[in-house]
Amino acid sequence: MITRVTDLIIKNIGEQAIVRIEEEHLQPILVIHIDNLVETAFLLRDMEGYYFDFLSNISAVDYHPEQRFGVVYHLASIPYQTQLTLKVEIENDRRFDNLPEVPSVATVWRTADWHEREAFDLMGVFFTGHPDLRRILLPDDWQGYPLRKDYEDAETYHGIAIK
């Protein structure tokens, strides 16, 4: 399956779209160049014989202490009963005024709207082109991103002790 998908992407988008294939996991992961993410997503969703019509999950990954983040997309083709995992990686200096940026795939899969908001809220990944990127679980004025490995718990929130 991964070979067929790789060939499809190379044929329609180009070799530069594929960074590498990680085969050491339970399910192979196709690492896509960030500049080709949205184009690849549309291709995989719309191409006859593949039709990855369902985005089941988006996970943000913190590679701390490296200055690197990843975003993992779990796709499924309901008609063909196949699954595919895509990933993009972002170099970033970890500053709160310079969030790692990834293009939104909310125009490809509607479920990405909520998944991207969660990754933004908890990991601080900014999804460019997202229709309504704002916190989804934490209060709007919360400081920091709690799933980052270098996150330090606040001692208080609006004068209330947090323990």
| Domains, the chain | 2-161 (3.30.460.80)
**pLDDT bucket at 162, cuts 50 / 70 / 90:** confident
pTM over 0.75: yes
How much is the pLDDT for 112? 98
How much is the pLDDT for 65? 96
Count of CB atoms within 10 A of residue 10's CB?
Answer: 13
**pLDDT bucket at 154, cuts 50 / 70 / 90:** confident
How many residues would you count in the chain? 163
Report the distance separating Cα 26 and Cα 24, nearest Å. Answer: 7
Distant-in-sequence, close-in-space partners of 145: CB < 8 Å, separation ≥ 6: 121, 122, 123, 124, 151
For the residues 130-134, what does the mean pLDDT come to? 97
**H helices present in 73-150, as ranges:** 112-123
How much is the pLDDT for 87? 98
Q: 105 with 55: CB under 8 angstroms?
A: yes
Provide the angle, in degrees to the nearest 10, between the axes of the packed helices 2-12 and 37-46: 120
